[in-house]
Structure 1
Amino acid sequence: MAAAAALICAVPSFAGDILKPRAVVELFTSQGCNSCPPADAVLTELAERGDVVALGYHVDYWDYLGWKDTLATPENTERQHRYGKAFGKRTVYTPQAVINGRAHVNGAKGDAVSWAITEMENKGDGLSVDIGVTRAGESVVIDAAAAPGEKGDAHLVLVHFDPMRPVAIERGENKGKTITYANPVTSVQTAGMWHGKAARFELPRSEVNKKGGCAILLQSVTRDGLPGPILGAAIVPPEAETP
């Protein structure tokens, strides 16, 4: 996918039907964690609200408790560990909600998540770069605006996720529960570089569509490759299937 994105011009044209999100909330969760269902419910509320890019990263390090998370991937676990290093933490936990790549809170505490979103907006640490998404022929076109002063570098990150789904858990700490999971992440890929100036990226429409939903994150990355602040974001919703 990284090779599929191409910088094709530098004049943004924003789609009128794409809602600018207030924030990005990345929840690290597990079907085998008995503290996670309240956080999963918070993420579902955020996803249904529509003004937050809400992403569920299922991790695999609780699988030994008796239930293998059906949505977990090693890559999701690795992303959480990389956030841990970026935050200067030696350990990770669930449920952990990372807001705008800048801070983390207990994902089960909806008030704390909402407070963090509002506090970042008030401090100017919200999503400052507009992202526009349009479908044109066989392409999905992504337009990233310029940063204030046209300074800064960031990765254009594609986060693919499946539709919201209920999962019946048969063993482990959540045995007997059926829990609905919002936007479970299936893959994270870097598709290009943004250098602070307005830029346009083009992706094959077939590649975006075949993976379900897709979030676009404009995320700064340290020299060591650790994830940093998310500057802009948008959602490419799944296309309806043609009968």
Structure 2
Amino acid sequence: MNPVRKTITAIAACLLAVSTLPTALSQAKHTEPPQSIVLVELFTSEGCSSCPPADELLRKVNGRLTATGQLVVGISEHVTYWNRLGWTDPFSSSTYTDRQDRYATRFGLDSVYTPQMVVDGQQQFVGSNEARLSQALANQAKEKKINLRILSSEIQGGSIAIHFSATQLLSKRPLNIVAIVTDDLATSKVLRGENGGRSLQHVAVARSLATVATIHQDTDATVNVPRNRSDGITWESAHHLILFAQEAGQGAIVGSDAKPFALATARGENL
């Protein structure tokens, strides 16, 4: 799928030019009311020639405020099925491919595709379509959210301890609490495949994803997420921990939080 790249006019009408995600989140205080967040997942691949415009669109909106004051938090999830076509995406993982497969089933799609954006688990479209993204962000402003907060996070031995609270639940239906660690910024020199010879830049690159709890009521808890070794990719940028509550069956995302996260690791050690 090769959508025509357009200028970002529709997005400009919906978004306010404010601070970037690291700055906006770093200034948040636990004592302040939680920031209303809309989560934008981008399924992408460095082997896909249609993906760089979507990567650029995510960079433009990530960390911005919508006209209604919601903070846009992006997650770049690199899939694996392009890897067999000449270039192995160093950020790809079957975890994100599997997640996209589940969305395809839920949305009734004939197949997965890249680039694909999913907004708050409720709307999906071609990831470079700025008009659809603008409309999706406007739609999410009308949705009620729970109060989900990351109270603290730290590395403890072989795991990450995350203390979180979830209140003002909308129903007693189960919610999966999902934790993702992202690189704020990542770059890659692509040597082969459809993007061969290009230097690509990504934001909010998912490096670890896990369901850490399932809740049915207001909750204040600490969970321990096992740390995983990646395959030698160094962590050169800043990082964020993103936590979100998603309805069972990989349904609607009804609450999110995001905080800067320090990787206190030894040289050569990765999450």
Considering the TM-score relative to the shorter chain, is it more than 0.5?
yes
Q: Measure how far apart 1:114 and its partner are.
A: 2.0
Decide whether aligned partners of structure 1 residues 136 and 191 sit closer, same or farther in structure 2, where only a CA change above 3 A counts: closer
In structure 2, the partner of 1:146 is 168
Decide whether aligned partners of structure 1 residues 164 and 84 sit closer, same or farther in structure 2, where only a CA change above 3 A counts: same
Residues of 2 paired with 1:136 and 1:59: CA distance?
27
Residues of 2 paired with 1:30 and 1:176: CA distance?
15
Q: Measure how far apart 1:140 and its partner are.
A: 3.5
In structure 1, the partner of 2:100 is 80
Q: How does 1:109-148 map to 2 (within 5 A)?
A: 109-122=129-142, 124=143, 128-135=145-152, 140-148=162-170
The runs of 5 or more residues in structure 2 that have no matched partner are 1-28, 66-70, 229-234, 266-271
In structure 2, the partner of 1:58 is 78
In structure 2, the partner of 1:217 is 244
Question: Which amino acid in the other structure matches residue 262 of structure 2?
Answer: E
1:164 to 2:185 alignment: yes
Question: Which amino acid in the other structure matches residue 166 of structure 2?
Answer: A
| Regions of 4+ moved over 4 Å | 136-139, 204-208
In structure 2, the partner of 1:238 is 261
Deviations 1:122-159 (A, max 9, x none): 3x3x5x111122228875421111223x4321111112
1:180 to 2:201 alignment: yes
In structure 2, the partner of 1:33 is 48
The runs of 5 or more residues in structure 1 that have no matched partner are 1-13
Q: Measure how far apart 1:97 and its partner are.
A: 0.2
Residues of 2 paired with 1:19 and 1:36: CA distance?
32
TM-score, with length taken from structure 1:
0.80
Question: Which amino acid in the other structure matches residue 182 of structure 1?
Answer: V
Question: Which amino acid in the other structure matches residue 229 of structure 1?
Answer: A
Q: Measure how far apart 1:161 and its partner are.
A: 1.9
In structure 2, the partner of 1:49 is 64
Q: Residues 47 and 89 of structure 2 are in contact (CA less than 8 Å); yes or no, is this contact kept in structure 1?
A: yes
TM-score, with length taken from structure 2:
0.73
Q: Residues 213 and 223 of structure 2 are in contact (CA less than 8 Å); yes or no, is this contact kept in structure 1?
A: no
Residues of 2 paired with 1:187 and 1:31: CA distance?
18
Q: Residues 18 and 133 of structure 1 are in contact (CA less than 8 Å); yes or no, is this contact kept in structure 2?
A: no
Q: Measure how far apart 1:214 and its partner are.
A: 1.9
- Measured on the aligned residues, the alpha-carbon RMSD in Å equals 2.7
Is the partner of 1:94 in helix, strand or coil? coil
Q: Measure how far apart 1:45 and its partner are.
A: 1.9
Residues of 2 paired with 1:102 and 1:206: CA distance?
29
Decide whether aligned partners of structure 1 residues 205 and 194 sit closer, same or farther in structure 2, where only a CA change above 3 A counts: closer
Is the partner of 1:228 in helix, strand or coil? coil
Question: Which amino acid in the other structure matches residue 199 of structure 2?
Answer: T
Deviations 1:8-67 (A, max 9, x none): xxxxxx923685243111100000111000100111122242612210110111122211
Decide whether aligned partners of structure 1 residues 166 and 220 sit closer, same or farther in structure 2, where only a CA change above 3 A counts: same
Q: How many residues align?
A: 219
Decide whether aligned partners of structure 1 residues 190 and 171 sit closer, same or farther in structure 2, where only a CA change above 3 A counts: same
- Report the identity percentage: 28
Q: Residues 133 and 140 of structure 1 are in contact (CA less than 8 Å); yes or no, is this contact kept in structure 2?
A: yes
